[in-house]
């Protein structure tokens, strides 16, 4: 087997230009394949990381997102009395009653506009989200027309510098703080006092209720109580589950798009590999005859050419992944199909994507080399030597 490996490797190195061009074609296909999956996983990771396993989010039944939900004050008061809710250091329940709406804002560098999430929050909202860190300015004062904005908003939208004023909800709001929420969706939101937001947007109801559990294992109990209470028309979900559901539509769309593009591009790469391997068989007819005369069986010849094709696929796969890895340095923004709001996130490269990409490159190598390998293994010894 070592002899066959070195034989295949030597032939690839001998035909450097052909090897490089064929591997480049495969690398581009693997790059597209990996990039689309990285995009989908990056989106999903951003939204899933937005939630916490200990937190429970309550919204109106049949609501797809907080934007579509409405919870009146009477139902909210019932939810916040659940005994499973954790208490803060002062003995107060860790419950945040929030309002979520969307506005349109003008993007930097263009005249286009995009939806942005406005979240009305309370003091408990920050306690329930430890990933929020203030990076400039301060927190909005309760009962004021002050707001703080995520760093992705500052990067992507006009008029969002510290101390700037934004006009929405028929009111002017002063930006007093900029926060970093890491790789979560909160970085693409604007936060202000919940009661001021409800007044400005003339919404008498909350959008959602978020609370922390004393013990994570009590989730099923509190979920069942909330959803079966005849006074309530609400459903409770773990925050991580809620945000995972928010990402499913867009992530599925990206994966289907990536698979479609990859199949189209891979056909060209496979044909290129097949042409290369057929040319290799034609150029090495005498070598094949000599190997057969020396006692190498048809299976050994088949294995040698398949191995050569798989090595070609492996080189292309590694090159494509190497190029794709640099996408992790980029931050992109797109519309979340569930809320139709702007969401910024990064490409994410995982070990699973690496394995899938390398496996895909090997499939291309095998598909491109199997027919030429069979042709090489079926050459007659006498005919091969005579052609030399």
116 and 83 assigned to the same domain: yes
What is the reported pLDDT for 83?
A: 92
Confidence class for position 343, pLDDT limits 50, 70, 90: low
Confidence class for position 387, pLDDT limits 50, 70, 90: low
* Alpha helix segments (H runs only) across the chain: 2-14, 16-50, 73-79, 123-127, 151-156, 194-200, 219-228, 239-283, 285-293, 298-325, 351-377, 381-387
Domain stops at, among 232, 259, 294: 232
Task: Using the predicted structure, report yes or no on whether residue 129 has a pLDDT greater than 80.
Answer: yes
Give the pLDDT mean for 230-234.
93
Give the pLDDT mean for 222-240.
92
Domain stops at, among 232, 262, 281: 232
What is the reported pLDDT for 211?
A: 94
Confidence class for position 282, pLDDT limits 50, 70, 90: low
Q: Report pTM.
A: 0.69
302 and 353 assigned to the same domain: yes
The answer to whether residue 220 is domain-embedded is yes
Q: State the Rg of the chain over Cα.
A: 29
What is the reported pLDDT for 241?
A: 85
The answer to whether residue 378 is domain-embedded is yes
What is the reported pLDDT for 344?
A: 63
* CA–CA gap between residue 39 and residue 328 (Å, rounded): 10
Q: What is the tally of structural domains in the chain?
A: 2
Task: Using the predicted structure, report yes or no on whether residue 388 has a pLDDT greater than 70.
Answer: no
What is the reported pLDDT for 77?
A: 93
Q: Residue 357: give the domain boundaries.
A: 2-48+246-387
pLDDT digits (tens, 9 = 90+) for 36-81: 888 877 776 766 666 788 899 999 998 888 888 999 999 999 999 9
Task: Using the predicted structure, report yes or no on whether residue 17 has a pLDDT greater than 60.
Answer: yes
- Go through 344-367 and write b for each residue having 16 or more CB atoms within 10 A of its CB, e for each that does not: bbbbbbeeebbeebbebbbebbbb
pLDDT digits (tens, 9 = 90+) for 144-189: 999 999 988 888 888 899 999 999 988 999 999 999 887 777 888 9
Q: Name which of 122-136, 212-226, 274-288, 355-369 the model is least confident about.
A: 274-288
For residue 54, the SS3 value is coil
106 and 197 assigned to the same domain: yes
The answer to whether residue 241 is domain-embedded is no
9 and 103 assigned to the same domain: no
Give the pLDDT mean for 3-15.
61
346 and 278 assigned to the same domain: yes
Domain stops at, among 183, 208, 232: 232
Choose among 316, 342, 345: nearest CA to 328. 345
101 and 210 assigned to the same domain: yes
Average pLDDT, the chain: 82
269 and 334 assigned to the same domain: yes
What is the reported pLDDT for 74?
A: 94
Confidence class for position 94, pLDDT limits 50, 70, 90: very high
Count of positions (residues) in the chain: 388
What is the reported pLDDT for 293?
A: 66
The answer to whether residue 238 is domain-embedded is no
* CA–CA gap between residue 93 and residue 127 (Å, rounded): 11
The answer to whether residue 382 is domain-embedded is yes
Backbone angles phi, psi at 347, to 5 degrees: -65, 140
220 and 258 assigned to the same domain: no
CA distances from 362 to 90, 128, 149, 241, 252 (A): 60, 46, 46, 35, 25
Choose among 105, 98, 115, 103: nearest CA to 193. 98
Bridge-based pairing of strands 171-180 and 133-137 is: antiparallel
104 and 132 assigned to the same domain: yes
116 and 228 assigned to the same domain: yes
The answer to whether residue 359 is domain-embedded is yes
75 and 23 assigned to the same domain: no
- Are the C-beta atoms of residues 137 and 162 closer than 8 Å to each other? yes
The answer to whether residue 75 is domain-embedded is yes
Residue with more model confidence, 291 or 98 = 98
280 and 353 assigned to the same domain: yes
Partners of residue 50 on adjacent β-strands = none
The answer to whether residue 56 is domain-embedded is no
Task: Using the predicted structure, report yes or no on whether residue 326 has a pLDDT greater than 80.
Answer: yes
What is the reported pLDDT for 342?
A: 58
């Amino acid at each position: 087997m070592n002899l066959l490996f070195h034989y295949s490797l030597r032939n690839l190195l001998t035909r450097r230009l052909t090897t490089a061009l064929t591997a480049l074609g495969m690398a581009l296909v693997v790059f597209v394949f990996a990039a689309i999956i990285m995009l989908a996983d990056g989106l999903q990771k951003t939204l899933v990381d937005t939630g916490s396993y200990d937190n429970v989010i309550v919204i109106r039944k049949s609501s797809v997102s907080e934007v579509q939900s409405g919870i009146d004050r009477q139902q909210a008061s019932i939810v916040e009395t659940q005994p499973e809710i954790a208490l803060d250091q002062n003995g107060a329940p860790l419950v945040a009653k929030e309002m979520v709406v969307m506005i349109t804002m003008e993007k930097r560098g263009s005249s286009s506009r995009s939806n942005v999430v406005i979240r009305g929050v309370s003091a408990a909202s920050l306690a329930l989200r430890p990933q929020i860190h203030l990076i400039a300015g301060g927190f909005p004062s309760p009962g004021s027309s002050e707001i703080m904005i995520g760093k992705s908003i500052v990067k992507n939208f006009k008029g969002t510098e510290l101390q700037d004023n934004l006009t929405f909800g028929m009111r002017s709001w002063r930006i007093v703080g900029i926060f970093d929420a890491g790789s979560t969706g909160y970085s693409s939101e604007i936060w202000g006092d919940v009661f001021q937001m409800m007044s400005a947007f003339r919404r008498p109801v909350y959008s959602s209720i978020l609370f922390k559990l004393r013990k994570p294992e009590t989730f099923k109990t509190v979920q069942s109580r909330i959803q079966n209470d005849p006074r309530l028309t609400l459903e409770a979900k773990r925050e991580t589950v809620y945000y995972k559901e928010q990402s499913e539509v867009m992530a599925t769309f990206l994966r289907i798009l990536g698979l479609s593009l990859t199949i189209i591009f891979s056909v060209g790469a496979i044909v290129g590999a097949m042409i290369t391997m057929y040319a290799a068989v034609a150029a090495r007819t005498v070598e094949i005859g000599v190997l057969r005369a020396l006692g190498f069986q048809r299976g050994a010849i088949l294995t040698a050419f398949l191995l050569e094709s798989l090595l070609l696929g492996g080189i292309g796969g590694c090159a494509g992944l190497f190029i794709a890895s640099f996408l992790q340095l980029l931050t992109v923004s797109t519309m979340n199909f569930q809320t139709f709001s702007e969401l910024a996130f990064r490409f994410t490269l995982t070990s699973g994507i690496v394995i899938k990409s390398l496996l895909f490159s090997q499939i291309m190598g095998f598909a491109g080399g199997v027919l030429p390998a069979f042709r090489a293994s079926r050459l007659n010894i006498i005919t091969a030597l005579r052609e030399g």
